[in-house]
Structure 1
Amino acid sequence: MDIKLERYYQLKQLQKKIEQELSELRTEITKYCEQEGVSEAEIGSYKVKIVFQDRKEFDEQKLYEALPDLELWRMLSKPDHGKISGLLKLNVITEEKIKDTFMVKTVPVLQVFKI
């Protein structure tokens, strides 16, 4: 078991390094596309595409006020998009009830394809 724990730890450390490098590269590529004024480009044997997604950013206080049932609030504990989506899908809460508790933020999502 010691070997498995050691390998798990090593992989988690490697994952952190990879995620950090991916984040840095994503930022550089996105900035390049912004500077060039393009959302799609073919560069060498790669195609880069930036698509925009809307993400909800919840206001914790407004969400708390919209969900007065303490049991619901305990289930969330913090505004977690996945948990809130789950409660909406299960019809535990309605979109109408939380409509004023978040802002929609458009964020760029980087896609890179080998052509």
Structure 2
Amino acid sequence: MEQLIARFYELKEIQKQVEDELGALRSKLIDIYAEAGSAEEGDFKLSISYQERREYSDDRLYNSLPDPTLWRLMSRADTGKIASLLKLNVIHEGILEGTYEQKKVPVLRVQKR
């Protein structure tokens, strides 16, 4: 049993190192190719697109909700839960006005040809 736990720990450490290196490489590639938006290097094709994401303010969102019990469902501004409440028509888009900022987030894709 101890071997299983030790292997799990070892793999989690490796995963953390890989994620850190991927993050650093992602940042460098975005810095280098951001203006071009895409590139082909050897056998690889790189593309950068942008997604718009909402970053909600906890205070502004809390103050805009019509029912304080809705806040207890979320406990913080969680975009997934907010999207679900919108989809279920529990809240409507109008009450969210001014509670978030739109952010453009780069999405990096690298494919092998």
Structure 1-normalised TM-score?
0.87
1:56 corresponds in structure 2 to 54
Counterpart amino acid of residue 75 in structure 1: L
Q: CA RMSD in A?
A: 1.5
Unmatched 5+ residue regions in structure 2? none
Residues 1:7 and 2:7 aligned together: yes
Aligned length: 113
1:39 corresponds in structure 2 to 37
CA gap of 1:70–1:21, structure 2 versus 1, over 3 A, is: same
2:98 corresponds in structure 1 to 100
CA offsets, 1:14-66, max 9 Å, x none?
222111111100000011113xx300110111000000110101111110101
Unmatched 5+ residue regions in structure 1? none
1:23 corresponds in structure 2 to 23
SS in 2 for 1:54: strand
Q: Mean alpha-carbon deviation: is it higher for 1-10 or for 60-69?
A: 1-10
Q: Mean alpha-carbon deviation: is it higher for 68-77 or for 48-57?
A: 68-77
CA offsets, 1:56-89, max 9 Å, x none?
0111111010114222111111111111112112
SS in 2 for 1:93: coil
Structure 2-normalised TM-score?
0.89
